[in-house]
C-alpha cells in the first residue's frame, strides 16, 4: 500500500491511508501522505470483522474524501455505504480473492456471508482492479464488470549489494499462515547444508517454532519476526533462494501472483514457486523460477537439485536481471495513475 499511496501522493492526490493499531505496531516512517491507525478491542475472528465494519464506517462518515478506496473485501462494505451516502466515487483494490482464501473457503457459513457482501458491493463500485490476470478474468466473468490488473511490483533496485552467505539460506517473507507450506519446508531442509530465514509472523508462529524444536533444527532456522521493508531489502539479496510455495486451498492462492516473488527476482534471487497458472506464465518470459508441489519430498528434491547443479542455479540468477529491469513499480505506476485520472 505504501507504493500505491506514494504514487498517488506524488501525482498530486491528498491521501489518507487507514489501518489498525496493534500492540506490536512500530512507529511509521515519514511518509508523503496521512496515516491513521484505528484502535480495536478485538484482534481476530467474527467480532474483529464486525468491529472493523463499524469503526471504519463511522470514521469515513465523519471525514471528507472525494474518492473512497477499499482494499480487499473486508473493507468494501463501509466504503460503499459512505461513498453512496455522500455521492462520491468508490475504488475497489482486490489484493486477493477474499471468499476463496483458506481461512474462508472451508467455512461454509462464513464464506456465504462474505459472498453475500461481495455480490452486493462489487457491481456497485466505480473502478476495480486486482493483482493478476487470472483473478481479473474470474471477477469479470462473475460480475460482468471490468477489472484492471495492477501487479504488486517492487521498486527498481539499481544497485544490489550481494554477499555470499555461509551457509547459504532460503528466505521466506510474509505472513506465517495456513496454506503457505512452511510446515512442509521445515522437514524438507532437515540435514541440508543451508539455513532457512523466516521474516514475518502469523497464526502459525508458535506451531512453526515448536516444529523446529521437534525436528531438532533450531540452529538451522532463524525466525526474524516482523522486518521493516527497508531492512528486508537489505536481507533479500543475500538469500540463496526465495520460497513461495502454496497449497491449492482455494482460487485465491491458485491464481495468486504474490509480491514476494517479485521481491526475490528484483533482488537477483531465484524463486521456488507453486506450479500455478500465473507463475508458470511468468516463468515462460523470465526463467528465474523453479517449481515444486506442496509436499516436503517435492520441495526437498527441488532444493537439492539446485544445490547439486551450480550451472543451473547461475542460469536462474542470470534470468533475474531482465525480470528486475521490467517487473518493477516504475513500469506499473503509470497504469495505476491512468485508472485514477478517469475517476477525478
Give the mean model confidence (pLDDT) for residues 50-61.
Answer: 97
- Look at residue 23 and tell me whether its pLDDT is greater than 80: no
Average pLDDT of 2-12?
A: 94
pLDDT bin (cut points 50, 70, 90) of residue 26 is confident
What share of the chain in percent tops pLDDT 70?
Answer: 100
Report the top-level CATH class of 2-153+329-341: alpha beta
Domains 2-153+329-341 and 169-326 share a fold: yes
Question: Residue 212 forms beta bridges with which residues?
Answer: none
- 263-279 tens-digit pLDDT: 999 999 999 999 999 99
327 exposure class (CB count in 10 Å sphere: 0-12, 13-18, 19+): buried
Mean pLDDT of 167-192: 95
Can you give the pLDDT at residue 190?
96
Nearest alpha-carbon partner for 4 in 87, 126, 85, 94: 94
pTM: 0.89
105-111 long-range contacts (CB < 8 A, ≥24 apart) are: 105/249, 105/250, 105/252, 106/249, 110/46
C-alpha 73/C-alpha 56 separation (Å) is: 13
Segment 20-49 mean pLDDT: 87
The domain locations on the chain are: 2-153+329-341, 169-326
Q: Does domain 169-326 have CATH number 3.40.50.2000?
A: yes
Amino acid at each position: 500500500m505504501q507504493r500505491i499511496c506514494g504514487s498517488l501522493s506524488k501525482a498530486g492526490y491528498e491521501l489518507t491511508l487507514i489501518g489498525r493499531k496493534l500492540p506490536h505496531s512500530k512507529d511509521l516512517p515519514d511518509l508523503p501522505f496521512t496515516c491513521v491507525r484505528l484502535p480495536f478491542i478485538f484482534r481476530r475472528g467474527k467480532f474483529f470483522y464486525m468491529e472493523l465494519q463499524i469503526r471504519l464506517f463511522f470514521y469515513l462518515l465523519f471525514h471528507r474524501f472525494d474518492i473512497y478506496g477499499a482494499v480487499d473485501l473486508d473493507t468494501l462494505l463501509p466504503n460503499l455505504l459512505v461513498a453512496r451516502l455522500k455521492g462520491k466515487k468508490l475504488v475497489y483494490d482486490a489484493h486477493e480473492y477474499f471468499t476463496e482464501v483458506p481461512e474462508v473457503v472451508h467455512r461454509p457459513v462464513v464464506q456465504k456471508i462474505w459472498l453475500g457482501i461481495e455480490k452486493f458491493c462489487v457491481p456497485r463500485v466505480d473502478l476495480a482492479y486486482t493483482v493478476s490476470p487470472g483473478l481479473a478474468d474470474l471477477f469479470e466473468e462473475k460480475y460482468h464488470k471490468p477489472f484492471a490488473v495492477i501487479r504488486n511490483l517492487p521498486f527498481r533496485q539499481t544497485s544490489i549489494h550481494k554477499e555470499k552467505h555461509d551457509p547459504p539460506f532460503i528466505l521466506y517473507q510474509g505472513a506465517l499462515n495456513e496454506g503457505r507450506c512452511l510446515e512442509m519446508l521445515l522437514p524438507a531442509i532437515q540435514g541440508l547444508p543451508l539455513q532457512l530465514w523466516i521474516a514475518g509472523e502469523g497464526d502459525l508462529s508458535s506451531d512453526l517454532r515448536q516444529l523446529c524444536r521437534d525436528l531438532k533444527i533450531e540452529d538451522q532456522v532463524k525466525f526474524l519476526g516482523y522486518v521493516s521493508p527497508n531492512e528486508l531489502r537489505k536481507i533479500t539479496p543475500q538469500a540463496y533462494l526465495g520460497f513461495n510455495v502454496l497449497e491449492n486451498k482455494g482460487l485465491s492462492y491458485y491464481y495468486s501472483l504474490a509480491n514476494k516473488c517479485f521481491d526475490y527476482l528484483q533482488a537477483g534471487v531465484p524463486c521456488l514457486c507453486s506450479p500455478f497458472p500465473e507463475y508458470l506464465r511468468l516463468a515462460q518470459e523470465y526463467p528465474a523460477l523453479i517449481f515444486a508441489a506442496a509436499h516436503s519430498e517435492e520441495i526437498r528434491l527441488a532444493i537439492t537439485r539446485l544445490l547439486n547443479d551450480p550451472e543451473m542455479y547461475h542460469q536462474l540468477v542470470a534470468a533475474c536481471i531482465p525480470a528486475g529491469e521490467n517487473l518493477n513499480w516504475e513500469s506499473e505506476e503509470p497504469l495505476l495513475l491512468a485508472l485514477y485520472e478517469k475517476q477525478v
